[in-house]
Structure 1
């Protein structure tokens, strides 16, 4: 068992508190104090990370606030459900809120270590809090805020009337007579200031109730930032070897499905002769290696491993793999192929050596591990190609519009390579335009985390389209 009390004690954050959770919303001012299993510790952390990563991905893909909220609701229901008190009678509210509470503090520890990690965590947590705050009903929101005793000063009715022209001009969209206003330091609502959506006088901002979410999120951000700075100073004192590896490496953790070879794949049958017909369903990395294999009749070791395990994952048997690679390496003799390549192919299927059945590489492994050198074809094009080479390859493989090309390259410049791959999928599979129009608002795809997941999603989409066209 892992004592959450001990861990948060070491980061200087322990207070006495009631374990009950009266509200869905939470400023996470009071840490959890209980024991949880090692398994719970890891599962809670990774499930919350799924939600935060989904927020980042949807935002980077230029989705509207409504699209992001709908997508995050779907992801949250899968990994981190958190129902409102109103209408949540049929759900285990206490367990949901406990998991939300504990998982936040675990990730707070994991993301307190550097300025870059702290900024990322604050941004995603603020976005999640904002979505939850907007979705909560008015009575629950107000009860939560009253409990937090935020002590915002209300603008009196007389002051409101005397400033009617200024307030109405700054907030033309509001129903003035129905609004109340809060008076706060303008630094608390810089988002509203940047949008010129609030009246400012003598360093004070006059915030209408309709913009209350900005004020509340600002308070959430301020408290979380202070807590992360406190945790970062105390983090070195944590010495529990059961959790340190997770805390130190969670930002690079693979969160997707593990793919293994099986005969029940999404396609009927994969053979040496029909791989060429399936390339349109391959992610960019696999397309690149396949093209180079056909062009050079050879691939170096790491490319053979990366591409070979991918083909294994989509259903290519070891017998068909031997035929595929033998035909592809057409410039060498049978003797040379058997001597230098056949053993490694059988080895990757667990039929030689220590008989380990290797799984296809996920995106994190491809991006973070062996970097390609001169003459190498393995790796991730979004990470390892030059901008000019990536532009050319994207254009050759289906990205025709300049605005689409720019959108992908902008994501790549931010080093969000898996998000760029997801954007590429949406564009080349003709999802981007329908999403932009709002046709698929509630069906944004999850971020691509694995080449075999890309293949799987592409084949599924093709089957759906074919079924609809046949009607």
Structure 2
């Protein structure tokens, strides 16, 4: 098996062992990000069944967990692990790695677009002379002794950084950047799997959901200890440029009126929690708003009078009070199906008229008439999630979020909007 993880292993495994594999992998990935000394772990042995199972089970957690902090941690940590592995390969191991990938690719009938350049690269890496050259200790990132030609659309980050030359639509990749390009393809493969896999059927499997709940108790500790993905009460306004329209509308309304209705405050609080706001920062954030007098809002609550109630409610959402249930933010379907007739929230693509919807959308990016027409048409057809995905593509000026509506949530929107560009450049 290859640590590129093109396909999962098949077979049976006890649930308790599966849980152990995932927890141990999480701990190992945390150590990788913290740059701690590498410790032997039988569950992360390169190319082993345990290694494969742990990777794909964490993919399941990222897809079903609907928590951007987890997904960002997973993407970055797995990329660091892949980088560590690919950098330590001997010429023989590099050739074996390339041959295994090519054998795996031949078994797949329907392959995503990035497989084509991966095949081209592997056919070169399996050659003895090239493998020895690439794995040499003196090989530098500026080396151009060997090169491959691929369509420019398969290496857009390298084109943007002017790391490659273009010739009639083909990008000439020198051997000095081949390992970086492998990391780019690895990330593309991983993000493609997380964004486009429909695993909704697994939610009815109690074994999977039990493991998911146990892992969720470990995840906040793991992510907190890596220092990843923090959102503070002072940076919410800056981060709001990446908010989905439904949450951006609540944020703007809160800043203007200094109050939200109970259900919308609950939805918005969970969204902020799941994109990285700690319980302390959440208390500071809501204190700042509710200490102010409401602006044309019927809410009679204020922080001075109801501080204990507010603090308890916030801590309860973080699993620190009451039944200690760790709540997660709601998905798009829940928002679209909620009754918003007496509230300021809801999905703008469903609950707002065209004028109000366009007003919210234009506050993030200026919409063209063509884009407005396409979104309004999807709204008319009740394809609200598709309209939101189309709007996200416009904001990113990218098609990276194609076919993500299977598992689409406000948190996933934020994750794609805030991390799509930065992840591309973290690979180098």
TM-score (normalised: structure 2): 0.45
Compare relative contact order (CA 8 Å, sep 6+) and give the higher one, 1 or 2: 2
Q: Which protein is bigger by CA-based radius of gyration?
A: 1
